[in-house]
Amino acid sequence: MASVTGPVIPDGRPVAPPQGTASVGPPDIARVRPAATRSHPVRSGRSAVGRWWHSSLRTRVVTTTVLLGLAMGALLGSLLYQQIANGLVAQAVDSAQRDAAQQVALAQEAIDSTDRRDDSALNAAANDQVLSMAGTSAELGRQVLLLPALDNERGAIVQTIAVGVSADDLPAGLQEAIETDPENQQVVVVPVTLVDREDAITSVVVGSRMSLLRAGAYDLVLVYPMVREEETLDLVRQLFVAAGTGLVLLVGGLGWLATRMVTRPVERAAAVSQQLAAGHLDERLDVEGTDELAQLATSFNTMADSIQLQIRELRSLSQLQQRFVSDVSHELRTPLTTIRMAGEVLYASREDFAEPVARSAELLQQELDRFEGLLTELLEISRFDSGAVTVERHPEDLVTLVQDAVDGVRTLASEAGSPLEVRLPAAGRPLPTLVDGRRVSRVLRNLLANAVEHGEGRPITVTVAATDQVVAVSVRDRGMGLDEEQQARVFDRFWRADPSRQRRTGGTGLGLAIALEDARVHGGWLQVSGRPGEGARFRLVLPRSLAYVIAEAPPLTDPVSGEPIPDDQVPPVVLALATREELP
pLDDT digits (tens, 9 = 90+) for 196-207: 777 788 889 999
Note the pLDDT tens digit of each residue in 18-52: 334 455 555 444 344 343 344 455 555 566 777 76
Residue 506 near residue 489 (C-beta atoms within 8 A): no
Predicted confidence (pLDDT) at residue 218 exceeds the cutoff of 80? yes
The answer for residues whose C-beta is within 8 angstroms of residue 230's C-beta and 6 or more apart is 201, 202
Picking from 578, 584, 525, 571, the residue whose alpha carbon sits closest to that of residue 549 is: 578
Picking from 547, 399, 419, 393, the residue whose alpha carbon sits closest to that of residue 473 is: 399
Q: Which residues of 203-212 are buried (b: 16+ CB within 10 A; e: fewer)?
A: bbbbbbbbeb
Strands 143-148 and 575-577: unpaired
The H or E element containing residue 288 is none
pLDDT at residue 299, rounded to an integer: 86
∠ at Cα 282 (277, 285), nearest 5°?
85
pLDDT at residue 29, rounded to an integer: 41
Angstrom CA distances, 132 to 107, 127, 141, 156, 472, stand at 9, 9, 11, 22, 105
The H or E element containing residue 45 is helix 41-55
pLDDT at residue 53, rounded to an integer: 73
Alpha carbons 114 and 122: distance in angstroms, whole number:
6
Alpha carbons 463 and 398: distance in angstroms, whole number:
12
Note the pLDDT tens digit of each residue in 301-322: 888 888 888 888 877 877 776 6
Alpha carbons 61 and 267: distance in angstroms, whole number:
15
Residue 114 near residue 121 (C-beta atoms within 8 A): yes
Residue 216 near residue 148 (C-beta atoms within 8 A): yes
**What's the pLDDT band for 298 if we cut at 50, 70, 90?**
confident
The DSSP letter of residue 367 is: H
Task: Check the CA dihedral 573-578-581-584 and report its sign.
Answer: positive
Alpha carbons 327 and 61: distance in angstroms, whole number:
59
Note the pLDDT tens digit of each residue in 494-505: 777 665 555 555
What amino acid occupies position 425? P
Alpha carbons 448 and 443: distance in angstroms, whole number:
9
Residue 194 near residue 143 (C-beta atoms within 8 A): yes
Structural domains of the chain sorted by starting position, each given as residue range(s) with its CATH number in brackets: 1-38+392-584 (3.30.565.10)
Task: Indicate the SS3 state at residue 468.
Answer: coil
The mean pLDDT value for 433-449 works out to: 89
The mean pLDDT value for 368-394 works out to: 72
**What's the pLDDT band for 112 if we cut at 50, 70, 90?**
confident
Residue 206 near residue 100 (C-beta atoms within 8 A): yes
Task: Indicate the SS3 state at residue 303.
Answer: helix
**What's the pLDDT band for 462 if we cut at 50, 70, 90?**
very high
Query: In the beta sheet, which residues pair with residue 526?
Result: 24, 540
What amino acid occupies position 157? I
* Count of residues making up the chain: 584
Note the pLDDT tens digit of each residue in 156-176: 778 888 888 888 878 888 888
The DSSP letter of residue 479 is: S
pLDDT at residue 493, rounded to an integer: 76
Predicted confidence (pLDDT) at residue 336 exceeds the cutoff of 80? no
Alpha carbons 291 and 265: distance in angstroms, whole number:
12
Predicted confidence (pLDDT) at residue 579 exceeds the cutoff of 60? no
**What's the pLDDT band for 572 if we cut at 50, 70, 90?**
confident
Inter-axis angle of helices 57-112 and 119-133, to 10 degrees? 150
Task: Indicate the SS3 state at residue 182.
Answer: coil
The mean pLDDT value for 472-479 works out to: 90
Predicted confidence (pLDDT) at residue 117 exceeds the cutoff of 60? yes
Instruction: Provide the 10 A C-beta neighbour count for residue 86.
Output: 10
Query: In the beta sheet, which residues pair with residue 564?
Result: 557
Note the pLDDT tens digit of each residue in 45-95: 566 777 767 777 777 878 888 888 888 888 888 898 899 989 989 998 998
Predicted confidence (pLDDT) at residue 14 exceeds the cutoff of 60? no
Phi, psi angles (nearest 5°) of residue 188: -135, 150
The H or E element containing residue 334 is helix 292-348
Q: What is the CA radius of gyration of the chain?
A: 49
pLDDT at residue 6, rounded to an integer: 36
Pick the most confident of 74-78, 211-215, 342-346. 74-78
Picking from 115, 5, 75, the residue whose alpha carbon sits closest to that of residue 248 is: 75
Task: Indicate the SS3 state at residue 30.
Answer: coil
Q: Give the count of alpha carbons within 13 A of 149, CB side only.
A: 23
Picking from 1, 25, 48, 40, the residue whose alpha carbon sits closest to that of residue 573 is: 25
Residue 556 near residue 571 (C-beta atoms within 8 A): yes
Residue 511 near residue 517 (C-beta atoms within 8 A): no
Picking from 118, 120, 178, the residue whose alpha carbon sits closest to that of residue 145 is: 178
Report the mean per-residue pLDDT for the chain.
Answer: 78
